[in-house]
Structure 1
Amino acid sequence: MGGAFVAAAVLARLGSRIGLPTIPLFILAGILLGPHTPGIVLVKDPHELEMLSALGLVLLLFYLGLEFHLDDLKAGGRKMALAGGAYLLLNVGAGLGFGFALGWGTSEALVLAGVLGISSSAIVTKVLVDMGRIGNPETKPILGIIVVEDIFLALYLAALQPILSGADSAGAALVDGGKAFGFLLLLALAARYGTKVVSRLFNTRDDELLVISFLGAAVLVAGVSEWFGVADAIGAFMVGLMLGATASGDRIRELVHPLRDAFGAIFFFSFGLSINPGDLPSVVWPVLIAVVLTLLMNVAAGVSAAKIFGFGATPAANISTTLLARGEFALILATMAAGAGLDSRLAPFIAGYVLVLAVLGPLAAGRSHWLARILPGGRDGGGGAGDSPVRDEPPAAKDPQKDAEASVTH
């Protein structure tokens, strides 16, 4: 475990010097130091880190729940919902069609729809901070699209779980689905109407007690969620949603950061351990086709969002490239697919696809002006209200990371 932390940290530090995000580097560390690659093998059996990896997944979704509020979508209004819906329709629809075209199976196609359709919130936020675009006009719809994706993700995973569990009949699938949605509804009602009670339960000035309280609640509800056929990660997401609205929400966000980052790194590292590089050549062409398809759909979604908000070519290009990266959600689906015994080609495909886009996304975002030149109105300097001269200036705030987190939260 210590070797895994150190290896992930060293490789991530090296990659950060050339502007690469940490997620693909953590995965790469797992691949290089796993049992399928010659040289040093830190972990012979990926299952040895299974519990730590599960905890990382729970904490990642718990943190996203803390950041998410239903009021975020209401504040954005109709335009934000339209932009998010258009993004999902284009990308999830293309992913579903691509999955059926591959011919790997219906369950596999449903998994691929989510893999190709959902952006990486972690990488998107990092790109906005690193590029100094927090104050740009197009940042609000970008974060709005992420909010819509979070809502879709919760419903999508709840619906997918009974299918992947292999229910014996349509009736059994409906029962499993009903149990899952019923439990989700119960958690949603608790989040909506039980905030005052929950706030009192977690009201303590002692940081140690608060950490143990929210960590215990997240892991416990995640475990109970599995009993009801809901993915453990979604149970943790709902706990985060509940606690984020309490008086202790801001303190919990600060205290969970190191836990999320540490065990999240182990989750990505552990996923890399399960990847056999020898399997990647067999999925090279599907990965490349999927990457090109995602590029096209993101450009179309970016142009659509820009039209909805009255922006020009430059904001459209920024939206398209910023939302390009895929990461944690794709790996969550890969973990679920592996547990359900789906086609063995899914894991190497998802690993290759995430690695390519997690690297390509930030690089493309930094060169979005190239895309802007070929979009409608780009040769005229953007031609829209959203083209701002401050789009690539460094942020004025002293702590851009907190600004980014505040933007996602509010």
Structure 2
Amino acid sequence: MGGAFLAAAVLARLGSRIELPTIPLFILAGILLGPHTPGIVLVKDPHELEMLSALGLVLLLFYLGLEFHLDDLKAGGRKMALAGGAYLALNVGAGLGFGFALGWGTSEALVLAGVLGISSSAIVTKVLVDMGRIGNPETKPILGIIVVEDIFLALYLAALQPILSGADSASAAVMDGGKAFGFLLLLALAARFGTKVVGRLMNTKDDELLVISFLGAAVLVAGVSEWFGVADAIGAFMVGLMLGGTTSGPRIRKLVHPLRDAFGAIFFFAFGLSINPGDLPTVLWPVLAAAAVTLVMNVAAGLTAARIFGFGAQPAANISTTLLARGEFALILATMAAGAGLDSRLAPFIAGYVLVLAVLGPLAAGRSHWLARILPGGGKGGDGGGPGGSEPLYAKDSGGREAPVTS
């Protein structure tokens, strides 16, 4: 584990000199020091880091919830639902069509619909933090789309499970979906009406007790969420949403930073451990084709979301590139597909596709201004804004973070 931390740190420090984002470098460290490549093997079995990896995902989404205010959700709920629905319709629909075009089978096509359709919440969160975009206006629809994706994810997994297991039981799928939806509704009600009660329970002047309290709450609710068939990430997100609105919220945001960064690095390192580079050449062309389809659909979804919210070219480009990466959910589907005995090409395809977009996504997000130039309204002389040029330009500040430019 110490070697994993140090290897990730060394590669990230080297990469920072040429302005590479940390996410693909953490993944590369896992690939190079994992069981599938020659040389030093730090971790023979990727499952040895499974719990630490899960904790990294939980903390990343918990932090995202802390930054996402409940008032934003209430104020923009309808627009966020529209943007999220459009994103899913474009990407899941394209994934299903791509799956049928490959001709690997109906079950395989249904799996690929989810693989190509759902963004990586962990990578999206890390990109927003690393790029300094948490305060940008387009971040709210990005977070809204993630929430809609996680709700869809719970229902999608419940419906897919009987198909992969070969069970011909629509009632079982309905029961699982109902259980997941009911728990999501309970979490939403708790976030809406339970903030004051939770705030009083969390309130303490002792930082040690506060860390233990919020960490225990986030991990416990994440575990219970998983038991109900809801992604553990969405449970952690809802806890963060509740705690972010309490008087302890600012202190929690400060205290969770080192935990988020450390275990987030382990999450991406473990992600790399699961990838076998030797399997990738057999599915190279389908992987590249799928990545191209996803890029086109994300641009279309970004333009749609920007239109819904009245944004211009630069925010549309930020939305498109930030949501591009695919990750943890795709790997879960690969595991499910292997267990169900589906086409043997599916697992290496998913691994290659995820690797390409896990690297391409953060790189594209850091260079979104290139995309903005070719989007409608993003040409030279324009401000990249909405109607009447009201939307701000974005530029790097002295700390390397992206911020609106004012006259």
User: Cα offset for 1:211?
Assistant: 0.9
Q: Distance in 2 between matches of 1:232 and 1:289?
A: 31
Partner-residue secondary structure (3-state), 2:393: coil
Q: Which amino acid aligns with 2:148?
A: F
Q: Which residue of 2 aligns with 1:64?
A: 64
Q: Which residue of 2 aligns with 1:148?
A: 144
1:133 and 1:391 in contact (8 A); partners too: no
Q: How does 1:105-120 map to 2 (within 5 A)?
A: 105-106=105-106, 108-120=108-120
Deviations 1:337-358 (A, max 9, x none): 4156254544433433333334
CA separation of 1:98 and 1:395: change in aligned 2, threshold 3 A: same
Q: Which residue of 2 aligns with 1:391?
A: 393
Q: Distance in 2 between matches of 1:252 and 1:234?
A: 18
Q: Distance in 2 between matches of 1:195 and 1:89?
A: 33
CA separation of 1:232 and 1:125: change in aligned 2, threshold 3 A: closer
2:251 is aligned with 1:251:
yes
Q: Distance in 2 between matches of 1:67 and 1:152?
A: 17
Q: Distance in 2 between matches of 1:47 and 1:113?
A: 26
2:61 and 2:122 in contact (8 A); partners too: no
Deviations 1:179-214 (A, max 9, x none): 222222222222221112111111111111111111
Task: Tell me whether 82-91 or 376-385 shows the greater mean CA deviation.
Answer: 376-385
Q: Which residue of 2 aligns with 1:331?
A: 328
Q: How does 1:214-233 map to 2 (within 5 A)?
A: 214-233=214-233
2:157 is aligned with 1:161:
yes
Q: Which residue of 1 aligns with 2:238?
A: 238
CA separation of 1:61 and 1:346: change in aligned 2, threshold 3 A: farther
RCO higher in structure (CA 8 A, sep ≥6) = 1
1:21 and 1:358 in contact (8 A); partners too: no
Q: Which residue of 1 aligns with 2:55?
A: 55
User: Cα offset for 1:234?
Assistant: 2.7
Q: Distance in 1 between matches of 2:122 and 2:114?
A: 17
User: Cα offset for 1:38?
Assistant: 0.5
CA separation of 1:175 and 1:43: change in aligned 2, threshold 3 A: same
Q: How does 1:10-409 map to 2 (within 5 A)?
A: 10-76=10-76, 82-106=82-106, 108-120=108-120, 139-140=136-137, 142-166=138-162, 168=167, 169-308=169-308, 316-317=316-317, 319-320=319-320, 322-323=321-322, 325-327=324-326, 330-339=327-336, 341-342=339-340, 343=342, 345-365=345-365, 367-368=367-368, 370-372=370-372, 374-376=374-376, 381-382=381-382, 385-386=385-386, 391-395=393-397, 400=401
Q: Which residue of 2 aligns with 1:408?
A: none
Deviations 1:284-311 (A, max 9, x none): 1121111211222233234444545556
Q: Distance in 2 between matches of 1:114 and 1:2?
A: 34
Task: Tell me whether 145-154 or 169-178 shows the greater mean CA deviation.
Answer: 145-154
2:81 and 2:148 in contact (8 A); partners too: no
Task: Give the TM-score normalised by the residue count of structure 1.
Answer: 0.82
Q: Which residue of 2 aligns with 1:407?
A: none
CA separation of 1:186 and 1:272: change in aligned 2, threshold 3 A: same
* Structure 2 portions without partners, runs of 5+: none
Q: Which residue of 1 aligns with 2:9?
A: 9
Q: Which amino acid aligns with 2:42?
A: L
2:314 and 2:368 in contact (8 A); partners too: yes
Q: Distance in 2 between matches of 1:186 and 1:258?
A: 30
Q: Distance in 2 between matches of 1:129 and 1:215?
A: 20
Q: Distance in 2 between matches of 1:289 and 1:296?
A: 11
Partner-residue secondary structure (3-state), 1:393: strand
CA separation of 1:257 and 1:129: change in aligned 2, threshold 3 A: closer
Q: Which amino acid aligns with 1:91?
A: N
Q: Distance in 1 between matches of 2:36 and 2:255?
A: 36
User: Cα offset for 1:393?
Assistant: 3.3
Deviations 1:131-161 (A, max 9, x none): 78788xxx42x31331221221221221133
Q: Which amino acid aligns with 1:331?
A: E
1:310 and 1:384 in contact (8 A); partners too: no
Q: Which amino acid aligns with 2:283?
A: V
Task: Tell me whether 333-342 or 282-291 shows the greater mean CA deviation.
Answer: 333-342
User: Cα offset for 1:110?
Assistant: 4.4
Q: Which amino acid aligns with 1:335?
A: I
1:34 and 1:272 in contact (8 A); partners too: yes
Q: Distance in 2 between matches of 1:68 and 1:106?
A: 38
Q: Which amino acid aligns with 1:156?
A: F
2:383 and 2:393 in contact (8 A); partners too: no
User: Cα offset for 1:36?
Assistant: 0.9
CA separation of 1:109 and 1:191: change in aligned 2, threshold 3 A: farther
2:120 and 2:328 in contact (8 A); partners too: no
CA separation of 1:370 and 1:250: change in aligned 2, threshold 3 A: closer
Count the aligned residue pairs.
395
Task: Tell me whether 6-15 or 301-310 shows the greater mean CA deviation.
Answer: 301-310
RMSD of the alignment, in Å?
A: 3.4
1:290 and 1:353 in contact (8 A); partners too: yes
Task: Tell me whether 210-219 or 61-70 shows the greater mean CA deviation.
Answer: 61-70
Q: Distance in 1 between matches of 2:332 and 2:370?
A: 36
User: Cα offset for 1:261?
Assistant: 1.5
Task: Tell me whether 57-66 or 102-111 shows the greater mean CA deviation.
Answer: 102-111
CA separation of 1:17 and 1:347: change in aligned 2, threshold 3 A: farther
Partner-residue secondary structure (3-state), 1:355: helix
